[in-house]
Amino acid sequence: MEMNEVLDRLPRHLMDLVIDQPYTEYTAQDHAVWRFVMRQNVDYLQHVAHGSYLEGLRKTGISIDSIPHMYGMNRILKEIGWAAVAVDGFIPPAAFMEFQAYNVLVIAADIRPIDQIEYTPAPDIIHEAAGHAPIIAHEDYAEYLREFGRIGAKAFSSAMDYKQYEAIRHLSILKADPYTPKADIEKAEKRIEDIENNMGEPSEMSRIRNLHWWTVEFGLVGELKNPKIYGAGLLSSIGESYNCLQDHVKKIPYNVDAANFSFDITSQQPHLFVTPSFEHLNDVLQEFADSMALRTGGLNAVEQAIRSENTGSLVWSSGLQVSGTFSRVINENEKPVYVETNSLASIAFEEKELKGFGKDNVKKFGSPVGNPAGVGLSLTHMTDKELFASGMVDDEELKLSYPSGVEITGVLRRKIRKEGKNLLFVISDALVKYKDEVLHRPKDGLYYLAVGEEIISGFSGPADANAWGLSFNPPEEKTHKIEHNEISKSLHKLYQQVREIREEQTGFEAVPQIWNQLKQDYPDEWLLAMELFELAKQEKMNVEEEIVEHLEKMQNRIPEFTTRINNGLKLVDSNITNKSIGVEEI
């Protein structure tokens, strides 16, 4: 992959998800699908999308006529401080958002098959490149995406969220493959239904994903009665973009309550949210973030970390950060007084692991929260002299009692200080009890006492990703590489001939021959017939009327093609090209 200054900033755990764009695997039919959708979208969206849409196409250099190459996009995107990478279908939501935080647009490399031209349940390059990319050229919106990424990547997921993600990814892979048996799809749909019926209390990630859906994917902006489109899901689907502006789709003023509205990816939306401006999006995001463990801390943060059943981090008021899979909290009066991990932990300060306090050394972590009883000063800010006066001396017996009933005895071996604050006490031969329960015995090894009056923050993932060895392992189930049969390959060759004629503006004499072969061997192939009609009309060929008559009969024979064919016939007269909207091909 060709790197640049934006991509160079990506942490290595995100690079694990990046793939090479399989550009040579796109067929001529794939490029024709891209061209049809893009011409149709531009023709309609220039009137109903936010004003930055067409300008964004120009700034990002996204071609109407052919699938964009990531290298070419990056050469232009870097001018506005962004970059793009290819990934294999759906990636974990936390990873998707973290890419955003680094100004990187994630693009699913696949393109929808022709039978899903209006809508695809799987992310594809039309949705990502043609939907997301144009709007990021707007400075206020780009800042919203960055901030959303920074906050969203810290949201706690639940164990059920992970199962739901895997099930949705599996279904999207099956649906994107035109050769998948119907029974397999029905089985995958049932699995999602069962999971969604047992999700339990919504997690932070599920709620912030709702905000993402109603803004980044399906957002409207402007006046409530006459909004404009900016969401990528709407910009990449002509059916959705038309439907969303009709009166039967309820328009709701956008506010933080949108986090409580779930969505269905398999059907058109019954309601949408309208933000008065892109700046308002960030105001709502900050309001939501104020309710997250990231900012509330306390018992909420600990319980969110435990419920995730995954790596999370808690931050003490001293600034100490502890990362691990938290498994238990003892609370009194709705405040955490003791927290534990179930296994390995890492101890850090300001996102840097403290030397010697990584997973290799900290096999398990447990610590009280609060100030010891009988210590009149804040333990965090006590000087060496004050610690000595209170009996906290290296290599001497230590006894601490907490108002909660936690008692610690042992030998103080080491005190860790940073920026004038006490962060951590290392105690050997420690016996730790809570009332009558033993929490740590001398045989359990060194005891790590976190210093801090309260837990002020909690977030998903480790504080120091590199030291932890964080990795978003590429999903085991890959998107299907479509294996076309010989009949399809022969059809794709016809598409390629037509593409070369149009691009080179030579060889028009072959059009009647291609048409005769198409109607004989592929009588239901509407898109290539449309492209042949476009060439025939341009050159005023005799086969022009015959092709139109064939397409009209196809509408009667296959009703679901009616809208596609009608829209295609209109496009032939619209003359939508890269040149007509000022896009320089990359």
For the segment 438-453, the average pLDDT, to the nearest whole number, is: 97
Would you list the DSSP string of 470-515?
---PPPSSPPP-----HHHHHHHHHHHHHHHHHHHT--GGGHHHHH
What pLDDT score was predicted for residue 76? 84
For the segment 175-182, the average pLDDT, to the nearest whole number, is: 84
CA dihedral sign, ordered 574, 502, 21, 36: positive
Q: Cα(525)–Cα(174) distance, rounded to whole angstroms?
A: 23
Residue 175: in which H helix or E strand, if any?
helix 159-176
Residue 118 pLDDT greater than 90, yes or no: no
* Lookup result for tokens 């930055």: 52
Higher-confidence position of 98 and 77: 98
The pLDDT confidence band at residue 440, using thresholds 50, 70 and 90, is very high
CA-CA-CA-CA dihedral for 410, 412, 417, 422, to nearest 10: 40
* Lookup result for tokens 């290296």: 394
Strands 104-108 and 83-87: parallel
Determine whether 413 is exposed, middle or buried from the number of CB atoms within 10 Å of its CB (0-12, 13-18, 19+).
middle
For the segment 513-521, the average pLDDT, to the nearest whole number, is: 96
What pLDDT score was predicted for residue 293? 98
**Among the CATH numbers 3.30.360.10, 1.10.800.10, 1.20.1600.10, 3.40.50.150, which is that of 7-158+201-284?**
1.10.800.10
What pLDDT score was predicted for residue 441? 97
**Percent above pLDDT 70 for the chain:** 98
For the segment 394-414, the average pLDDT, to the nearest whole number, is: 96
Q: Minimum mean pLDDT among 75-79, 179-183, 358-362, 550-554: which range?
A: 75-79
Tell me the pLDDT tens digit for each residue of 221-259: 999 999 999 999 899 887 888 889 999 999 999 999 999
Contact 271, 277 (CB under 8 A): no
Residue 216 has which token pair? 């980044």
Residue 407 pLDDT greater than 90, yes or no: yes
Q: Minimum mean pLDDT among 27-31, 112-116, 478-482: which range?
A: 478-482
Would you list the DSSP string of 312-374?
EEEEETTSEEEEEEEEEEEEETTEEEEEEEEEEEEEEETTEEPTT-STTT-S--EEE-SPPTT
Phi, then psi, of 207 in degrees rounded to 5: -75, -40
Residue ranges per domain, the chain? 7-158+201-284, 159-200, 294-468, 486-581
Q: Cα(129)–Cα(134) distance, rounded to whole angstroms?
A: 8
Q: Which of 207, 6, 172, 168 is nearest to 99 (CA)?
A: 6
Tell me the pLDDT tens digit for each residue of 261-282: 988 776 778 999 999 999 999 9
What pLDDT score was predicted for residue 113? 86
What pLDDT score was predicted for residue 246? 93
What average pLDDT does the chain have? Answer: 92
Phi, then psi, of 481 in degrees rounded to 5: -80, 115
Task: Name the amino acid, one letter, at 66.
Answer: S
What pLDDT score was predicted for residue 584? 65
Phi, then psi, of 455 in degrees rounded to 5: -95, 120
Residue 585 pLDDT greater than 70, yes or no: no
What pLDDT score was predicted for residue 474? 66
Contact 382, 500 (CB under 8 A): no
Higher-confidence position of 474 and 436: 436
Helices (H) and strands (E) in the chain, counts: 23, 18
Maximum C-alpha span of the chain: 103
Residue 586 pLDDT greater than 60, yes or no: no
CA 499 to chain centre: 34
The pLDDT confidence band at residue 579, using thresholds 50, 70 and 90, is confident
